[in-house]
Each structure stands twice: as structure tokens, then as C-alpha cells.
Chain A
Amino acid sequence: MSLRIMPKSLLKTWIKHLQSRHFKVVGPTERFGQYVFEEIHSADELVMDYPTSVLPPKKYLLPPRERLFTFNAKTMEMQPDIQAVPTVILGVHTCDMHAVAMLDKVNNTGYADQHYKARREATYLVSVECLTPCMEGSFCKSMGTLTVPENYDLHFTDLGSDYAVEVGSEKGAALLEGCSAFWEPSEADYARVDAVIGAKWQHFPYRLECDVTELPDLLALSQKSPLWDELGERCLACGMCTKVCPTCYCFDVTDEIDLNLEHGERIRQWDSCQIEKFAVVAGGHNFRSSRALRQRHRFMRKGKYQYEAFGLMGCVGCGRCAASCLVHITPVDTFNALHRLRQAAQNGSAAENTASNQEVQA
């Protein structure tokens, strides 16, 4: 859509402007040497060039714990809890923007989730172009998530002393209204944006040894791989990998009720497919009874199942799970190991074919 230029010194002005219009403004802030998305009270707290955040901004769309409705168990009255606080999320990385696209897809497929939709519609996504790799475990370039998808309201690119601000939607345009911090770009500004973005690619390595489009087939052929047992031996079933993941959305539902057994609420909370009881049914049968089977399910979802169900990859390459796993189970190592096992098997059978062809010829 259209481009604006904002001098960095006026970021503060804009944030004040948004707050005066009663937007809740959240963004990356520093906490004990790590970065977390938190409500911003003054622009000084904001760290736009943060490397990565502990949790993705997903928590504003799908909170770790959320009340679905309240009930009165005696009168059977119920009241849905639908929250829509206008919230501007600043500094969302492009991988996390792709993850929001995944969450949007899931929550609008079949029965649309009104709780998610209300939050999502009240959320203004301000993404930022990543110019240097954020950490060792990320592999966004391999996953195709190093450019921003179409779902941004505003997209920032750091031009040194200025931000280039791309307006991606009506909602984005509304955030600029009445604020005197933005200028029309000159020809030179367009060239500056192109130069900055063009120069970034060389800094990002390809970390997958196969192409992202090969992952679904690779995984289909790897259902029986011995690698899953190896991962199962190591995995602690702690569920950290799914907790920090921007595309994981599974949840559990429970009731809480007061001591008079009258007023209560139904709650949903993040859940993890890595926890033993996740797929247990009545009678005790567990469809994924071992850590190996649960790890397999996790990676199948990341590189195959979600793609088949929703047309989008279940992993955006942010690397958070790699950084948070105590036993160093990572998507890059897992996918690459499967790729190598597959190649070795193919080379093996190719060698056999050649050998038998030679026999035939002889």
C-alpha cells in the first residue's frame, strides 16, 4: 500500500498519541537480559531492535489462561466473556506475523472462535523488518518467513535515523491519523528501503538442508524413522517447546466454581501434546503412549499435518523451542537428520540397483 517516513525521534510522540486515543500499546521490553512483550507506559521501555522474545505476541490473541464464560450452576444463567481491548502490538517479527496467519486460519475454519476473533479484530499488528539473525536456533530464511506476510497493519523498516512505515490496511492507516510524526516519502526514501532490505539477505543462513516444500513428503516417509525413539529417549516431556511456540494453539478446558457451588466459570488454558495425558481416552487407552510418539506428532504437525489441514506450515522457524529445550531437541536438527537418513537410504538403494544392474549385464 502506501509508505510513510517517521524520524525515530518521533516514535515517542506517536506512542503518546496512541495512548491518548486509549489504545493499549504493547511491545518488546527488556526483563533481566531477555525480551518480553509487555504493555508500554513510556517509549523508553520499548526495544524495537530486540533479538527475540521469550514468548511470542500470541499471548495477546490466545492468552495462556482465558475465561470462556461465567455460569450460575443453580439458575443456569451464562454469560460469554468476549474481550476486545483495542491493542497495538509494536515490533512483531515477520516469523511471528506468519504464525498469526496460522492462528487466524485455525480460528476461522469451521466454527469461528468468537473469543479469538474479538481479540484479533481489536489488535493492530505493527511488524518490523528483521535485518540481522536474532539467534542461533532460528531458521526463518529456510521456512520462507523472513518477509512479512500480507496481514500487517503497519510494517516498520529501520533506515538508521528514520523508520520506513508501510501502511498495510485501513486499521494501519487509522493508527497514523492525527499524528504529526509521519512524512510522505521521497524517491530517495524508496531507494533507501530497497537498499536496506536488499542488503539483509546475505546475513541470514539457510539452515535446512532440504527445501521447505520437501518437508511434508520427507515427513510422510519418516513415520517409522528410528529418530523418533532417539528423541523420545531424550525428551523430558516438559512441554516448554509448545509453550513458547507462536503457532501452537492447543488448549485444555476446565471449570472453576465457588464454595457454594453456584457461581463459576469455564476456563481454557494452553495445553501441550508433549504431556502424557494429552491423547488418553476413557478406559486408559493412550493414542500416543510414548515420548517418541509424542515427539513424532509434534514434528509431523510442524512440517506436514498442519500444512495438509490448513495450507500453512505449522512451524515458522522462530527458533524459540530450540532455545528453550533443556535437552537440545530442535526442528533444524530433526528435519536435517531425517533428510540425511532419507538420503542415505536412497543412496543405499541406488547403490543396490546399480549393483544388480551390473549383475544383469554381466
Chain B
Amino acid sequence: MTTLLNETLKESIYMPTPARITAVKTFTPTEKFFKIALPSGFSLAHRPGQFVEVSVFGVGEAPISICSAPSRSNGTFEMCVRAVGKLTDALHRLAAGSTIAIRGPFGRGFPIERFRGKDIIFVAGGLGLAPLRSLIDEVINDRGKFGRIHLLYGTRTPQDILFAEDLVAWANAPRTEVHITVDRPDEAWKGNVGVITKLFPKLRFHARNTVAIIVGPPVMYKFVLMELLGKGIADGNIWLSFERQMKCAVGKCGHCQLHHIYTCQDGPAFSYAQVKHLEEAFS
């Protein structure tokens, strides 16, 4: 018998479960990759695009995307963390063997069953590749059910590229193209330079049978949306993941409220059709 991790919230929706860091990899000076094991008999059973709340006791808690595919998780999962403040800095100081605590999975992920049979454009800016990775891997693991796949990925410099091994593996998958661009190249960089929207002319797709999934910093959304809508992709076929400040992840603290929606419960994944009329969605 396995226990789903979120069943442990029965006593208190705020109280996490211990989990162990089993491996740490340094991706960049600010980003680290963590492999996490739940206690024996527990399963996360997440959907791509969902997140967990990660606790370091005495420091606090923060929402972090699950970056591994559900089909690859067996009481374990992965995350990629950028050190930007109290909790994320504390996580960066922890080595394999350390214990943290986890609640979740939370929110609605991407409705992968609705993407079957379609061509897919993934657009990732910076750390946005982390939540997308759970979806990309899930799609690639079930490659036959999906059409052509394009991944557009933009970072600031070549040194900021995350998941380098995965990018190579995806590029080698059948009917899959990976395009990477950097804002500021170094001498060794031979690839694309410039903002992510510059990659769109490289793509050949039928707007009618294409879904696009965008995850990146807030500033990226407006420009990428203009590009995709301009190409004729339907509002309901464009999916995004929203970042908001979150202090509870269970629809109580009010921090993540966007219009009448609680991002932690109804998001973080939304279709453009769901949010396009909501004030502050793209502010």
C-alpha cells in the first residue's frame, strides 16, 4: 500500500512530511538540482506543472515546481532551485543526506491528455524550464501519442543553461526540435543570440492543431503571446504557468490571489482563454 503524500494533510493542511535529499547537482552558480526521496511507502502522484511546498525548519517554506515526470517518479522527485532569498539559500547549503520537509503536490498542472495528437510548442524562459521539464519528459516518454515537438528555450548567457543533458536527449528524440537562444553570448557560443521571440521564424506548424505551453518570467509572456496569437493559435490552446507569492498553497493566505482566482488552487497552469480577461494577469 502506498500513501499519497497529500493524504498526510489530514491532521493539518500546513504540516509537511519529512523527505531526504538524495543527490545535489550544481547547474550554475545560482541554480542547483535536487533529487528528493519521500519516506518509504509514500508517493507524490503529481501531474506535470504541479508544485510542492518545501520546508527547511527554522527558515521557512517556499513553493517549488516538481521538475521530474510523473512516469519516472517512484517515491522520488526532482527540483531545480534558484537561490534568491532565505529558504532557497538555505536549500543550497544542504548536501545529499540532509532532511527537509514537503507538502503537496499542489495546484492544477497541465492537462496533458488534451495535448494528445497535437503538435506542441514549448517556450521556456530561464528557470521556466524546470516546471516544463516534468511535462516535456512525460510527453517524450509517451512519444507516439503526440505530433511534432518544438522546444524554444531562452537564457541570459550560455552559462545559465539548465538541464544540458536533457536538452541533448530531447533534441535526439524523434520529430523533436530544440532551439536555444541566449541574450549575451560568450566566445564559444555558436547558437542563436537574442530574445526568444526571434526563434519563431524557424518554426513550421499548423496553428489549428498546435498547443503552445509557455513558462518564464512575467515580462516574457506579453511578447511570446503576441507571437503565438499572431500565428493563429487558439486562446484555449495556449497554456501558461503563473508565479505569485504563495504562503500556504491551500487557498487560505490570500497572497496568490489574481482577480477572483487563487493561483495556488486553480493554477499555476492556466490556459490563455481562462485568464485573458482578468485584470492583473499580465501586469
A282 is an interface residue with CB less than 8 A from chain B? yes
In the complex, what residue of chain B is closest to A111 when comparing beta carbons? B250
Contact, CB under 8 Å: B280 / A287: yes
Interface size on A, residues (CB 8 A): 52
In the complex, what residue of chain B is closest to A280 when comparing beta carbons? B245
| Contact for B99 among A76, A107, A266, A297, CB less than 8 A | A76
Interface stretch, picked from A65-73, A121-129, A158-166, A197-205, is: A65-73
Q: Using Cβ atoms and an 8 Å threshold, which residues of chain A touch B101?
A: 71, 76, 78
A188 is an interface residue with CB less than 8 A from chain B? no
Contact, CB under 8 Å: A301 / B12: no
In the complex, what residue of chain B is closest to A79 when comparing beta carbons? B15
| Cα–Cα, bound, A72→B55 (Å) | 13
| Cα–Cα, bound, A273→B251 (Å) | 15
Contact, CB under 8 Å: B84 / A78: no
Contact, CB under 8 Å: A255 / B58: yes
B61 is an interface residue with CB less than 8 A from chain A? yes
| Contact for A271 among B84, B217, B254, B262, CB less than 8 A | B254
Residues of chain A in range 105-145 having any CB-CB distance to chain B below 8 Å: 106-107, 109-115
B9 is an interface residue with CB less than 8 A from chain A? yes
Contact, CB under 8 Å: A68 / B12: yes
Q: Using Cβ atoms and an 8 Å threshold, which residues of chain A touch B11?
A: 80, 82, 114
Interface size on B, residues (CB 8 A): 43
Which of B60, B61, B250, B259 has the most chain A CB atoms closer than 10 A to its own CB? B259
Interface stretch, picked from A5-13, A146-154, A305-313, is: A305-313
Q: Using Cβ atoms and an 8 Å threshold, which residues of chain B touch A109?
A: 251
Contact, CB under 8 Å: A249 / B254: yes
Q: Using Cβ atoms and an 8 Å threshold, which residues of chain B touch A309?
A: 260-262
> In the complex where A110-B250, A271-B254, A309-B260 touch, is A80 in contact with B12 (Cβ < 8 A)?
yes
| Cα–Cα, bound, A238→B81 (Å) | 34
| Contact for B84 among A114, A223, A283, A293, CB less than 8 A | A283
B251-274 vs A, Cβ < 8 Å mask (1 yes, 0 no) = 111110111111001000000000
B156 is an interface residue with CB less than 8 A from chain A? no
Q: Using Cβ atoms and an 8 Å threshold, which residues of chain B touch A271?
A: 247, 253-255
B126 shortest CB reach to chain A, Å: 9
> In the complex where A68-B15, A113-B13, A273-B254 touch, is A255 in contact with B244 (Cβ < 8 A)?
no
* Number of cross-chain contacts by CB at 8 Å: 129
Q: Using Cβ atoms and an 8 Å threshold, which residues of chain A touch B252?
A: 106-107, 111, 113, 249, 251
| Contact for A266 among B14, B84, B258, CB less than 8 A | B14
Contact, CB under 8 Å: B254 / A251: yes
B111 shortest CB reach to chain A, Å: 19
Contact, CB under 8 Å: B18 / A253: no
Q: Using Cβ atoms and an 8 Å threshold, which residues of chain B touch A113?
A: 13, 250, 252
Which of B258, B259, B260 has the most chain A CB atoms closer than 10 A to its own CB? B260
B243 is an interface residue with CB less than 8 A from chain A? yes
A357 shortest CB reach to chain B, Å: 32
Residues of chain B in range 23-81 having any CB-CB distance to chain A below 8 Å: 57-61
B283 is an interface residue with CB less than 8 A from chain A? yes
Contact, CB under 8 Å: A264 / B280: no
> In the complex where A281-B243, A282-B85 touch, is A69 in contact with B257 (Cβ < 8 A)?
no
Contact, CB under 8 Å: B15 / A69: yes
A173 is an interface residue with CB less than 8 A from chain B? no
B113 is an interface residue with CB less than 8 A from chain A? no
B279 is an interface residue with CB less than 8 A from chain A? yes
Contact, CB under 8 Å: A287 / B283: yes
| Contact for A264 among B16, B57, B245, B258, CB less than 8 A | B57
Contact, CB under 8 Å: A306 / B244: no
A195 is an interface residue with CB less than 8 A from chain B? no
Q: Using Cβ atoms and an 8 Å threshold, which residues of chain A touch B260?
A: 304-309
Q: Using Cβ atoms and an 8 Å threshold, which residues of chain B touch A174?
A: none
Contact, CB under 8 Å: B254 / A82: no
B283 shortest CB reach to chain A, Å: 6
Q: Using Cβ atoms and an 8 Å threshold, which residues of chain A touch B9?
A: 111
A279 is an interface residue with CB less than 8 A from chain B? yes
Q: Using Cβ atoms and an 8 Å threshold, which residues of chain A touch B174?
A: none
| Cα–Cα, bound, A297→B255 (Å) | 12
| Cα–Cα, bound, A76→B58 (Å) | 11
Contact, CB under 8 Å: B57 / A73: yes
Which of B12, B18, B219, B250 has the most chain A CB atoms closer than 10 A to its own CB? B12
A83 shortest CB reach to chain B, Å: 12
Q: Using Cβ atoms and an 8 Å threshold, which residues of chain B touch A288?
A: 280, 283
Contact, CB under 8 Å: B251 / A110: yes
Contact, CB under 8 Å: A71 / B57: yes
Contact, CB under 8 Å: A305 / B250: no
| Cα–Cα, bound, A254→B60 (Å) | 6
Residues of chain A in range 254-306 having any CB-CB distance to chain B below 8 Å: 254-255, 257, 261, 264, 266, 268, 271, 273, 278-283, 285, 287-288, 293, 297, 300-301, 304-306
B236 is an interface residue with CB less than 8 A from chain A? no
| Cα–Cα, bound, A21→B72 (Å) | 57
Nearest first, the 3 closest Cβ-Cβ pairs linking A and B are: A250-B254, A257-B58, A308-B260
Give me 15 A-to-B residue pairs in the complex whose CB atoms sit less than 8 angstroms apart, sorted by A's number: A69-B14, A80-B15, A109-B251, A110-B250, A113-B250, A114-B11, A114-B12, A223-B279, A249-B252, A255-B59, A285-B218, A287-B283, A297-B257, A301-B257, A309-B262
Q: Which residues of A contact B (CB under 8 A)?
A: 68-69, 71-73, 76, 78, 80, 82, 106-107, 109-115, 223, 249-255, 257, 261, 264, 266, 268, 271, 273, 278-283, 285, 287-288, 293, 297, 300-301, 304-309
Q: Which residues of B contact A (CB under 8 A)?
A: 9, 11-16, 18, 57-61, 82, 84-85, 88, 99, 101, 217-219, 243-245, 247-248, 250-255, 257-262, 265, 279-280, 283
Q: Taking A264-B57, A273-B254, A297-B280 as given, write out 14 further A-B residue pairs in contact, using a Cβ cutoff of 8 Å, ordered by the A residue number.
A: A69-B12, A76-B57, A76-B101, A109-B251, A114-B11, A252-B255, A254-B60, A257-B57, A268-B253, A287-B283, A297-B257, A305-B259, A306-B260, A309-B260
